[in-house]
Every structure is written in C-alpha cells, then in structure tokens.
C-alpha cells in the first residue's frame, strides 16, 4: 500500500530515530511512504495554544497538499502532528467559521482542501491494514524475554479515539506481543509524560517523568515503548535530573518502530538506537545463519 | 372555491390554548378567515375550548344554529379528539361529524414566524373544513374482551400486578424467563431507606403467587409470539426444559445432595458468579417455584451422552419413586388467550466493561453493586462476611456513583436509584466490615420519602462523601501507604483539588439500562421504545402505564429506572388499567373500518394484502367482502384497490382529497 | 440554473421568486410518524413552516393518487411517514406502501418529476428530532430544486394538445 507521509519537525530533528526506524520497517512490510513535498509546521504546541484558528490553517495546508498528491491517506507518526491534523479536519467539518478561514487562507496560495484526507497513525495502519499476521511473519528475531511497558501518551487516543480505546488502548500491546515481547501491564499508558511542563514548571514535569519511569521499573519493564517524539525525549533526557531529586530510575525509552526493526532483523545502525541518552542494551538472539545451523547439526 | 354542499352547516372553533397557540398564531384572524369559507355557519375563537364553557359553546351553537358538522382547531387529536367528539355528541350530533385540526403540536409549538404559522393554521383549518363536509354519521364498533391477563416478567412489578389482578378475581398467567420469580429485588440484601430485608418483604408475595388459585405461574418460560388485538390476544409461550417435572418435584433437594459432583463448582447466577452451584440446583433458597433444574451445559449425563459410567444418575436414585427427573424433557409451546397484557420485563445493569478506567475485571477487588449486595447478604456466598476475592478483609471501601449514567459516552440518563442504593450499601458494608467507606458522587439525588433523612443518617454514621466524578481506579502507588491498594483518582470538586485515595475494595454503582433484547420484546407486543431504549408510555404524565397499543400496559423498570415503591405503585396502576378494561366487558373500537362497494370488479388484489385475513371472496356475487369484526382499519386495501371500490370510514378518498385540496388552495392574503 | 431561472422557465402562474417557498404535503401514519410530529411539538423543536400534515391511520393507506393529486394541486413535494420496518401497527402496511412508492417514483421520473420530490421516511414515535430533520432537509432540497408548478405545466400541456388537435382538424 502507498500513503502520503508527513514527518513533521520532530522526526527530522530530536525524534529522528523515530523516522530512521519507521521508514525501513514500513518498507520491509511493503508500505510505501511518499514524503509530502514542501510540508510545513503541523500547527501543534505553541500555535495550538495561542491561536487555534491559525494552527488549523497551518495544518490545513498540509492536508491540502496531501489531497493534491492524490493520496487519500496521510501518515502522521508524531502524536502531536497526528492530533493537530485530525483536529483541523474535525474543525473543518464541524465549525463553518473556521472552515471559512481555512478556505480563504488556502485560496490565497492557490490550494484547496476538501476535507477528505484520512489522517493515519502508523499503529492504525499496522493493525488495520498490514495486519498482525503479516507483522508476525516478518519477525526473525523474536523479542523473547524483553519486558516492555507500552506507553501511548496523551494524544493519539484523546480526544479522537479513531482506532483504539480512549481509556485503555491496546494496539501497541498487541503489536509488541506479535514481536514476541512480554507486555507489562502498565496502567499509566495514557498519562501525561510531563513534556509540556519540563520547560515551564520543571518540578511538576520531573515528578511526572519520575512516576512514569518508576512505575515501569517497579513492574519489571526493561524499557518503555512509545509512539511520540516528545514523550521519548522527555522520558529519555532527564534521567540525571530525576535521579538527583528522587533517586536513580534507569529505564530506557524506545520507539515501537525500533523494536520492530530489531525483531525484523534490520541492521541496527539503521534504527537509530544509539541516539538515546539511556540506551537499550538488550538484543534478541541473532538470526541463525546457515553456517551456524550447519555447525549445530554437525 | 367549491360549491357549498346542501344541508352542511359547519361550526368552526379555534382554540387559543392560553398562550400555547395564541402566542404564535393569530387566532381571531384564523376564525375570521374560516368564516368566509363555504358551508361555515359560525366561526369563533376561544381561550380554552377543552374547558367546560368551551364545550358548552359548541353544544349551544349546534342547537341554536342548527350545525351539521364541527371542526376544532387546537391541540393534537391524540390528546383531545375524544373530548370534542363527546361535546359534539352531547350537542345532538353524531360524534363522527367532527374533525380536529392540530395547530399546536404541528404549528404554534414548532414554528417561530407568527405570520407563517398563522398562514399554516388557516390552511390546516381550510383542509379540516373541506374534509368534514364529507363526514357521515358512524357507530362505534363493540367487541367483547377476554377476561384473562398475561403478565410478562416476574420481578416485583410483575408479582405485584399479578397478585392485584388475581385478588380481584381475574385469571392471570405470569410468565418469567428465569427459573424463579423475584427478579432483581430477590438479590438485594436490604431495601432503602427503611433497611427492610428484601427477602423478608418479597418472599411472602412470591409464595402468594405460587399458591394463588387464579395465577398460573410459568417460570423458565418466554413469550415467543403475540397475535390479535386488545381484548383478544393469542399468545404463544415457550416453556424451556428444566429436566425436572415441575408438578412432581417437591423441592426436597435430596437430588442436589446426591449429585456426583460432591462440591458445587459452577458459577452461581443468583450470586452473580461469586458463589458456586452444582449442575442440578435451585437458584436460591426461597426460589419460587421450589423446583430444581438441571444445567445441561455442565451435567455429566448430558455432556457424555445418555449412558455414562462417570454419571451414575445419583439424582434419579435420590428422587426415587417421585420420578421427577426427566432427562428427555423437551421444550413445550403453549398457546393462551388473554384480553390484556402487562409487560414488566425490568432492566439490566450497565455493563461495567464499558468503563475500563474503573478496572473491573483487571483488579479482582472491584465489584459491581449487585455483587456487593450478594456479598453482604446473609445467604450470599460468604454468608454476609465481607471477604474480598483475594481473601482479605477491607479496611477502606470506595463506592463510585453514576457508573455508566449521566455520561454522553455511555448513558445520558440518571438511573434514579443509584444514589440511594449506594448509600444503603455504604451503610451495610460499614456495618459488616467496619471499614472506612467513601462515596464518590456527582450530585446526591435523594428525592423520596425518608431518603434525604437517610443521607443525613449516613453522614452521622461517618460515611465519607466526596463530590467528584472518579477519573480512574488504578494500582500504581505513589507512596508506601498506597502499595498494594487500589487508588481512586478523583477531583474533589468541593475542596478544589485532585485527590488520591487508597482503598481495598471498590464498588461500582451501575446504572439501569433497558434489556439488550428490549427491541424484540417491543416488537412482540407492538410497543414503542424511547430513544434511550426503554418502553414508551402513551403519555409521560397522564398515561404512564399505557402504551400506544390498547390493552398492553407497562410497569416497572422496563419503562425507565425507578425504585421499588414507584415500581409497585406503577404495577398496581397497570393492574387497575387492565381491570378497568376487563370489567367493562367490551371495547369500543373506532369505526374506521373498510367496506367494499357494489362496483367491485372481483380482481382479488386486496385479499392477500390484509394482514388480518378480514377480506374474503364471495363466489356467489364474484366480489370481495370485508368482515368488519376482523378489520382493524389500516386502509391498506383501500389504498391499493385499482377500481376505487373500497372505502374506509373516516379516511374515505373524498375526505382525504378534500384535505389535500384544502391545504393547497391558494394562500389567503 | 438557480431557482429563480427555474421558476421562470417553468412557465405561467409562478409566484415571484422572492416570496416562493416550497409547499410540502405530508401523509403521516397515526401510530408512529404523526405521534413523532406531536413529540417534536411537545419538545418545542423548530422546523420549516411550509409542511402540511395529513393524518392517516397507516402509511399503507397512502393511495398513489393522493400523491399525484397533491402534486397536481400545487405541492412541490410530498413526504410520506410510516413506522420502521417490522414496527407497523398493522403488521405490514408500511411494506405495502414501500412497494407502491418504488413504482410511483419510476412513473414520476417518466413524467419529468424529480424523484427527490416524493420522499418516504420511517419515523418512529420516539423520533421527534427526525421529523424536524427530514422536514428541514426536504424543504432545503425543494428550495434548491425550485417550484414544480405542475398545475402551470399541465395548462401548458393542455394548450399544446389543443393546438395539435386544431392543427390536425384544420
């Protein structure tokens, strides 16, 4: 299948490990991603907080560009992009005044948005279109023995629970199980990571990071798997600060796509695993080579 | 403009209905306009036509002005047609020489432009006036009513209705789908606010049902088909096999003791799965009828074929010469004739799996309210001792109100009983366990006799009340005190901050929902459901136990959530409504039946269209004939007669065409 | 073509476009849709005032002649409301109506009458909001379609026929 692809600023910057692992994994599964030409800021974070309408206009330009390519679907891996693009589409359909502004702004640059593009999250595509069975078949190095706490963050199921339950999403749980990993029951899976607070009210932000990491540790998780660049950064970058306030809670946070890459046996250097501050050292059993097989039989 | 018809003198009356109509429709203008129409002898507007002086006005005009027909433009005919027909009749005319025009529900209440609403009222008035000129005198159709009553559902509503009717000498069939009557009330430990023991007040009524000579009790049975109409229903009931012959079983329960399963090991439905039972069992000690039944899903004799070395049929041996056990019992279909039906099928509790954030099924010590009822009940699985699923005794208990209720995501309605039963459970749990009990509520709704006082009493007992909708029940601990506990995360909206309260046990006060099969039950009895799925009453205030189908009444929670006192009151009302019909002995039916005219060509196309087989073919005259007694007056045959040879009283072609012409005649200026 | 042009093209007897609003005649069954319209009233829902409801006991009573008669007397659209499938008070009158409705729509399109002008809706006694929705929707649709003006057209057809006849006789 083929989708338009909106990386957003994160996947080109701080969260580049997400893109680095996402692209080969999707390719490996036969999903073709065509990066949107001349995309712009999705409208998240500061924009959305200050002026919703302007944020929607920014998002609408990306949606209009996607429609122009003729692709009906746009993949937005970053949780914030995914939310804002969905929100812009929602507002476009339900709030005529905002739609008018969007239409007007787009017309000024010769673009038009019809409100058709479906905004898809990679998890949604993996479970709904690719299917767990297809994923399972690509697994050559099952993540046997790896205990993962699935962490979805606040944005991909709220407020738009388009492909999973709002309170207890399980898409990533199922995916990780298909990879052979052990999923740790993690009741904090949709709690705030503190990402918006670490800059503004650091004490509150650090406390949230600590809670998330500590709870994962208490439940025996070897790592947290996430879908959001902001969560990943937040849970990865402040270990020292958290340790100084609450004591050490060393748990690496990885993208689910990185774990998929490991399980698929993709070259590790392609997966951006070395970009984290707290690296995941665990590795699955290597793929048995024909030579080693012979050695065993011999 | 049509020619005036000879001898037709119409009186037209437009009602202000106080401000209800007059605020949006210029009633004097409508009256003045109607006065200009052909055949209108008098046209008046009046403040309240349904009042006695209003009706007097019509009567007087009929006599003094020699009217032949009457048209009233006011509210819906479904509300006051009867009133004005009676007034017309009292004035000396045939009641069917009357027509009612709806300018309230269909006009003044739904429009916002006074000019357009007035134009609409004039058009509707014109249509009514044109139509009524064709009305002929008609006679009511009188059909006898069968005196027996069917009560569907053996909860407290069905029980009370059946007993009321039976005491008045009516024969009642009480059909219950479960093996015992008693419904939800039988599962309750105590009842609010008096803390009466539910079993103590219910079981005498249950045994009264069993022993009453006028009541035929069919438990473990379901209505599968209903035919007929008010006064004359034919109902088919399926009696499911218990594998025990009801008439021969004496309820000694020796068979249960001697079952090859020495220990009960299958989830016990009556105890909400908290307790265990054997394959052969009786639902609960006071079950009515006192008859055991066998669960073929788990009984070895059924699982392993008729002859098995594992099962020695010890139950049959124990039953000995009573010979009540019959492994070959088959389901039976019974057909009964009744005149009226009371539907009291109750509710189902909200499915807590729909709110995963409260952790039911994830955390063993999260209970539904009904489970909590069984837990504190002396004859429950723990004999009334509050022992949690993990064997611990709770030191702190949270009761979460409004689970599934008052929420756009689940059910929007307030379930009415949850505040009170939550407080009752708070009292009982505290009494049985000595634990601290926290109630988490949105609003406390205690509007009933002694209810607010009960709330006060609980406050005095030291039960905690925290106002706030609980966000989640979780097991992640932030402090050592929270380790191993269930943590309630809630915004305390009175204190104004988010709290974390560690507890050992959580009770979810689930709301009340219509049964998942309410739609098929509704179809079976030709009723309607409201948007939320409860059965729809004919009028929310003035006909709360009637339905749109004559002779079918509703009582209890199938109509909407309510507590036991209201349910019993409603059941009594339904019984009284049924009796009022029965004791009259007959039913007057609208004379809106169809007739075949002499020019029928005998094509027979109408015959298969009639759902009541009221049309036959007379081979002597080569024409169709309608049996008036069977005709229900739908008019389907009339609408499809190719030669226009069938007419329907009150909805004759001339009348309808007159109405069409009336609504479309050029708008008056 | 905008409604004004359409009205002008439709020929004689059309009221000025500024004043024109579509006229809808509705046939509602007593048990479901009429009751639903009562509920809409009791709930004080607001809908377009250009609908005139005629009560029948069952949608099965709706004779195709009623619909044609309404259109020929100047209605721009006809709405028929009955109980949902399986819910008919008279068991299956609504199915009988559905059959006739399908046939009639075919005939109407042969006559050059847009099929949207005649609409059949299942509306239960509880669906007051659906009454509002359907009437408003239909009113908007008919406004977009413009006047049907069947009486005016019929006059034109009659004149045409007379002219033809005279031409033949001459």
Q: Do chains C and A touch (3 or more CB pairs under 8 A)?
A: no
3-state SS of A91-145?
HHHHCHHHHHHHHHHHHHCCCCCCCCCEEECHHHHHHHHHCHHHHHHHCCCCCCC
Judged against a pLDDT cut of 60, whether residue A16 lies above it is answered with yes
Cβ distance B120 to C49 less than 8 Å, yes or no, reads yes
By the CB < 8 Å criterion, does B543 face chain C?
no
Supply the pLDDT for residue A185: 94
Supply the pLDDT for residue B4: 65
Cβ distance B476 to A188 less than 8 Å, yes or no, reads yes
By the CB < 8 Å criterion, does A168 face chain B?
yes
Find the residue in B nearest to A170 (Cα).
B356
- Residue C14 maps to a domain: no
Cβ atoms C100, C60 nearer than 8 A: no
Cβ atoms A37, A65 nearer than 8 A: yes
| Domain A139-275 CATH assignment equals 3.40.50.300 | no
Judged against a pLDDT cut of 90, whether residue B352 lies above it is answered with yes
Nearest to B110 among C40, C61, C75 (CB): C40
**Closest chain B C-alpha to C170 CA, distance in angstroms:** 37
Supply the pLDDT for residue B588: 86
By the CB < 8 Å criterion, does B632 face chain C?
yes
Instruction: For the beta carbon of residue C116, count every other beta carbon within 10 angstroms.
Output: 13
CA–CA distance, B580 with B575 (Å, rounded to integer): 9
Nearest to B357 among A167, A188, A215 (CB): A167
- Percent of chain B at pLDDT exceeding 90: 88
Q: Do chains B and A touch (3 or more CB pairs under 8 A)?
A: yes
B26-51: average pLDDT: 96
What value of ipTM does the predicted structure carry? 0.88
Cβ atoms B48, B30 nearer than 8 A: no
B554-582: average pLDDT: 97
What is chain A written as a DSSP string? -EEEE--HHHHHTTTHHHHHHHHHHHHHTT-EEEEPTT-----TTHHHHH-HHHHHHHHHHHHHHHHHHT-SEEE--SHHHHHHHHHHHHHHHH-HHHHHHHHHHHHHTT----S-PEEE-HHHIIIIII-HHHHHHH-SS--TT-EEEEE-TTTSSSS--SSS-SSS--HHHHHHHHTTPEEPP-TTTTS--STTTTTTSHHHHHHHHHHHHHHHHHTT-SEEEES-HHHHHHHHHTHHHHHHHH------EEEHHHHHHHHHT--GGGGTGGGSSS-----PPPPPPHHHHHHHH-
**Structural domain for C143, as ranges:** 21-169
Cβ distance B355 to A167 less than 8 Å, yes or no, reads yes
What is the CATH topology of the domain spanning B10-140?
A: Rossmann fold (3.40.50)
Chains in contact with C, counting 3 or more C-beta pairs less than 8 Å apart as contact: B
Cβ distance B110 to C47 less than 8 Å, yes or no, reads yes
Cβ distance B635 to C52 less than 8 Å, yes or no, reads no
By the CB < 8 Å criterion, does B475 face chain A?
yes
By the CB < 8 Å criterion, does A165 face chain B?
yes
Over residues B304-347, the pLDDT tens digits come to 665 556 677 889 999 988 999 999 999 999 999 999 999 999 99
- Percent of chain B at pLDDT exceeding 70: 98
**Closest chain A C-alpha to B478 CA, distance in angstroms:** 8
Cβ distance C57 to B110 less than 8 Å, yes or no, reads no
Cβ atoms B358, B473 nearer than 8 A: yes
Q: Which residues of B touch C73 (CB under 8 A)?
A: 660-661, 664
Please list the rounded mean pLDDT of every run of 10 residues in chain C (170 residues): 42 52 96 94 95 96 95 95 90 93 92 92 93 96 92 88 86
**Closest chain B C-alpha to A187 CA, distance in angstroms:** 7
Q: How confident is the model at residue B613 (pLDDT cuts 50, 70, 90)?
A: confident
CATH number at residue C61: 3.40.50
What is the CATH topology of the domain spanning B594-648?
A: Alpha-Beta Plaits (3.30.70)
- Model-level pTM? 0.83
Q: Which residues of B touch C66 (CB under 8 A)?
A: 656-657, 660
Over residues B54-110, the pLDDT tens digits come to 999 999 999 999 999 999 999 999 999 999 999 999 999 999 999 999 999 999 999
**Closest chain A C-alpha to B398 CA, distance in angstroms:** 19
Q: Which residues of B touch A167 (CB under 8 A)?
A: 355-357, 472
Cβ distance B78 to C87 less than 8 Å, yes or no, reads no
Q: Give the β-pairing of B615-618 and B623-626.
A: antiparallel
Q: Which residues of B touch C34 (CB under 8 A)?
A: 78
CA–CA distance, A264 with B646 (Å, rounded to integer): 77
Supply the pLDDT for residue B538: 87
By the CB < 8 Å criterion, does B591 face chain C?
no
A285-295: average pLDDT: 66
- Residue C76 maps to a domain: yes
A98-107 own/partner pairs: CB under 8 Å, 24+ apart:
A98/A52, A98/A53, A98/A56, A101/A53, A101/A56, A101/A57, A102/A56, A102/A57, A102/A60, A105/A57, A105/A60, A105/A61, A106/A57, A106/A60, A106/A61, A106/A64
Over residues B434-487, the pLDDT tens digits come to 999 999 999 999 999 999 999 999 999 999 999 999 999 999 998 999 999 999
What is C65-111 written as a DSSP string? HHHHHHHHTT-SEEEEEEPPTT--TTSSHHHHHHHHHHHHHHHHHHT
CA distances from B486 to A193, B466, B474 (A): 22, 17, 6
Over residues A217-237, the pLDDT tens digits come to 999 999 999 999 999 999 999
Cβ distance A167 to B478 less than 8 Å, yes or no, reads no
By the CB < 8 Å criterion, does A215 face chain B?
yes
Cβ distance B472 to A165 less than 8 Å, yes or no, reads no
Chains in contact with B, counting 3 or more C-beta pairs less than 8 Å apart as contact: A, C
Over residues A149-158, the pLDDT tens digits come to 999 999 999 9
CA–CA distance, A245 with A198 (Å, rounded to integer): 14
- Residue C8 maps to a domain: no
Cβ distance B664 to C125 less than 8 Å, yes or no, reads no
> Which of A185, A187, A215, A219 to mutate to test binding with chain B, by most B CBs within 10 Å of its CB?
A187
Over residues B499-520, the pLDDT tens digits come to 999 999 999 999 999 999 999 9
Cβ atoms B322, B249 nearer than 8 A: yes
Domain ranges of chain B: 10-140, 254-322, 348-513, 594-648
**Closest chain C C-alpha to B520 CA, distance in angstroms:** 10
Q: Which residues of B touch A168 (CB under 8 A)?
A: 356-357
Cβ distance B660 to C25 less than 8 Å, yes or no, reads yes
B570-599 residues touching A, CB cutoff 8 A = none
* Domain at A2-120: CATH code: 1.20.1050.140
Q: Helix A96-108 vs helix A52-69: angle between axes, to the nearest 10 degrees?
A: 60
B624-653: average pLDDT: 92
**Closest chain B C-alpha to A33 CA, distance in angstroms:** 35
Q: Which residues of A touch B355 (CB under 8 A)?
A: 167
Helix (H, G, I), strand (E, B) or coil at B506: strand
Over residues B230-240, the pLDDT tens digits come to 899 999 999 99
Nearest to A187 among B355, B476, B478 (CB): B476
Parts of chain A belonging to CATH 3.40.50.11810: 139-275
Judged against a pLDDT cut of 80, whether residue B404 lies above it is answered with yes
Q: Which residues of A touch B475 (CB under 8 A)?
A: 187
- Percent of chain A at pLDDT exceeding 90: 84
Q: How confident is the model at residue A292 (pLDDT cuts 50, 70, 90)?
A: low
Nearest to C125 among B548, B636, B660 (CB): B548
Over residues A71-122, the pLDDT tens digits come to 889 999 999 999 999 999 999 999 989 999 999 999 999 999 999 899 999 9
Nearest to B656 among C60, C66, C87 (CB): C66
Q: Measured on CA atoms in the order B175, B180, B183, B185, is the torsion positive or negative?
A: positive
Tokens of residue B387, six digits: 């022992």
What is the CATH topology of the domain spanning B348-513?
A: FAD/NAD(P)-binding domain (3.50.50)
Cβ distance C53 to B106 less than 8 Å, yes or no, reads yes
Supply the pLDDT for residue B394: 97
CA distances from C125 to A68, A249, B432, C128 (A): 46, 62, 48, 7
């Amino acid at each position: 299948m083929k989708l338009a692809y909106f990386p957003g600023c994160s996947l080109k910057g701080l969260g580049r490990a997400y893109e680095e692992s996402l692209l080969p994994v999707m390719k490996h599964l036969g999903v073709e991603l065509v990066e949107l030409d001349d995309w712009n800021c999705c409208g998240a974070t500061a924009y959305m907080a200050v002026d919703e309408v302007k944020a929607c206009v920014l998002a609408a330009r990306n949606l209009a560009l996607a429609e122009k390519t003729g692709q009906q679907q746009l993949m937005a891996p970053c949780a914030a992009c995914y939310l804002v693009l969905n929100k812009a589409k929602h507002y476009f359909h339900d709030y005529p005044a905002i739609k008018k502004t969007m239409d007007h702004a787009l017309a000024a640059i010769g673009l038009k948005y019809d409100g058709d593009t479906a905004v898809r999250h990679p998890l949604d595509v993996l479970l709904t279109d690719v299917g767990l069975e297809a994923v399972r078949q690509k697994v050559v190095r099952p993540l046997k023995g790896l205990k993962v706490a699935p962490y979805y963050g606040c944005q991909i199921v709220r407020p738009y629970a388009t492909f999973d339950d709002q309170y207890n999403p399980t898409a990533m749980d199922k995916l990780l199980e298909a990879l052979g990993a052990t999923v740790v029951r993690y009741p904090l899976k949709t709690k705030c990571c503190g990402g918006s607070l670490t800059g503004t009210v650091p004490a509150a932000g650090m406390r949230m990071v600590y809670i998330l990491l500590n709870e994962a540790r208490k439940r025996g998780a070897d790592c947290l798997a996430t879908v959001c660049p902001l969560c990943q950064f937040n849970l990865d970058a402040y270990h020292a600060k958290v340790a100084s306030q609450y004591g050490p809670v060393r748990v690496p946070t990885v993208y689910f796509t990185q774990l998929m890459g490991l399980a698929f046996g993709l070259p590790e250097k392609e997966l951006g695993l070395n970009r984290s501050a707290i690296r995941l050292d665990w590795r699955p059993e290597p793929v048995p080579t024909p030579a080693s097989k012979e050695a065993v039989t011999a | 403009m049509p020619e005036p018809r000879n001898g037709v003198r119409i009186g037209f009356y437009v009602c202000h209905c106080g401000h209800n109509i007059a605020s949006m429709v210029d009633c004097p203008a409508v009256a003045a306009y109607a006065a200009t129409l052909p055949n209108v002898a008098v046209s008046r507007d009046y403040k309240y036509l349904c009042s006695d002086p209003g009706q007097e006005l019509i009567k007087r005009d009929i006599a003094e002005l020699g009217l032949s027909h009457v048209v009233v433009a006011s509210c819906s005919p479904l509300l006051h047609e009867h009133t004005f027909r009676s007034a017309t009749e009292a004035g000396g005319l045939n009641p069917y020489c009357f027509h009612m025009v709806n300018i309230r529900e269909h006009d003044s209440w739904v429009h916002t432009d006074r000019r357009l609403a007035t134009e609409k009222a004039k058009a509707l008035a014109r249509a009514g006036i044109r139509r009524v000129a064709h009305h002929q005198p008609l006679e009511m159709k009188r059909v006898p009513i069968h005196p027996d009553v069917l009560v569907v559902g053996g909860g407290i509503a069905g029980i009370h209705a059946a007993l009321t009717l039976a005491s008045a000498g009516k024969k009642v069939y009480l059909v219950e789908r479960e093996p015992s009557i008693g419904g939800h009330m039988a599962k309750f430990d105590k009842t609010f606010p008096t803390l009466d023991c539910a079993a103590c007040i219910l079981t005498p009524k249950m045994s009264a049902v069993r022993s009453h000579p006028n009541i035929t009790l069919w438990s473990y049975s379901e209505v599968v088909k209903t035919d007929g109409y008010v006064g004359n229903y034919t109902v088919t009931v399926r009696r499911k096999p218990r594998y025990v012959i009801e008439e021969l079983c004496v309820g000694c329960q020796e068979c249960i003791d001697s079952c090859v399963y020495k220990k009960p090991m299958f989830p016990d439905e009556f105890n909400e799965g908290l307790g265990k039972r054997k394959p052969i069992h009786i639902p609960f000690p006071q079950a009515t009828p006192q008859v055991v039944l066998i669960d073929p899903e788990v009984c070895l004799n059924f699982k392993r074929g008729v002859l098995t070395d594992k099962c020695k049929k010890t139950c049959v041996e124990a039953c000995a010469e009573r010979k009540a056990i019959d492994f070959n019992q088959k389901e039976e279909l019974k057909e009964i004739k009744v005149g009226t039906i009371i539907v009291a099928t109750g509710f189902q509790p909200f499915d807590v799996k729909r709110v995963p954030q409260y952790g039911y099924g994830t955390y063993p010590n999260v209970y539904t309210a009904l489970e909590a009822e069984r837990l504190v009940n002396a004859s429950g699985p723990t004999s009334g001792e509050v022992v949690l699923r993990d064997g611990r005794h709770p030191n702190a208990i949270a009761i979460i109100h409004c689970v599934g209720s008052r929420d756009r995501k689940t059910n929007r309605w307030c379930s009415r009983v949850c505040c009170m039963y939550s407080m009752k459970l708070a009292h009982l749990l505290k009494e049985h366990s000595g634990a601290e009990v926290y109630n988490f509520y949105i609003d406390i709704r205690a509007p009933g006799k002694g209810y607010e006082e009960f709330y006060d009493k609980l406050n005095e007992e030291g039960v905690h009340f925290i106002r706030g909708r609980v966000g989640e029940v979780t097991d992640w601990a932030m402090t050592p005190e929270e380790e191993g506990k269930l943590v309630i995360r809630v915004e305390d909206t009175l204190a104004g901050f988010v709290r974390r309260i560690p507890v050992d046990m959580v009770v979810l006060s689930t709301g009340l929902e219509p049964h998942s099969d309410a739609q098929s039950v509704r179809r079976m009895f030709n009723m309607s459901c409201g948007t939320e799925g409860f059965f729809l009453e004919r009028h929310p205030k003035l006909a709360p136990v009637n339905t749109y189908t004559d002779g079918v009444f509703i009582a209890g929670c199938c109509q909407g959530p309510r507590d036991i006192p209201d349910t019993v009151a409603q059941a009594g009302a339904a019984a009284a409504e049924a009796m009022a019909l029965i004791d009259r002995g007959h039913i007057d039916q609208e004379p809106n039946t169809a007739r075949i005219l002499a020019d029928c060509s005998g094509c027979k196309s109408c015959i298969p269209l009639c759902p009541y087989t009221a049309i036959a073919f007379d081979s002597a005259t080569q024409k169709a004939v309608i049996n008036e007694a069977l005709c229900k007056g739908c008019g389907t045959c009339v609408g499809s007669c190719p030669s226009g040879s069938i007419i329907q009283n009150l909805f004759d072609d001339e009348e309808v065409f007159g109405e069409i012409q009336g609504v479309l005649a050029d708008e008056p200026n | 073509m905008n409604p004004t042009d359409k009205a002008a093209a439709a020929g004689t007897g059309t009221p000025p476009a500024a004043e024109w609003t579509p006229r809808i005649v509705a046939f509602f069954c007593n048990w479901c849709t009429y009751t639903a319209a009562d509920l809409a009233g009791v709930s004080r829902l607001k809908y377009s005032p250009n609908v005139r409801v005629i009560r029948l006991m069952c949608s099965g009573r709706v004779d195709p002649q009623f619909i044609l008669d309404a259109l020929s007397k100047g209605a721009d659209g006809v709405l028929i409301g009955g109980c949902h499938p399986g819910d008919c008070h008279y068991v299956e009158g609504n199915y009988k109506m559905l059959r006739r409705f399908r046939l009639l729509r075919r005939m109407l399109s042969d006559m050059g009458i847009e099929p949207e002008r005649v609409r059949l809706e299942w509306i239960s006694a509880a669906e007051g909001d659906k009454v509002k929705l359907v009437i408003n929707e239909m009113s908007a649709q008919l406004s977009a379609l413009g006047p049907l003006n069947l009486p005016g057209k019929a006059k034109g057809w009659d004149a045409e026929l007379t002219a033809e006849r005279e031409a033949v006789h001459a």
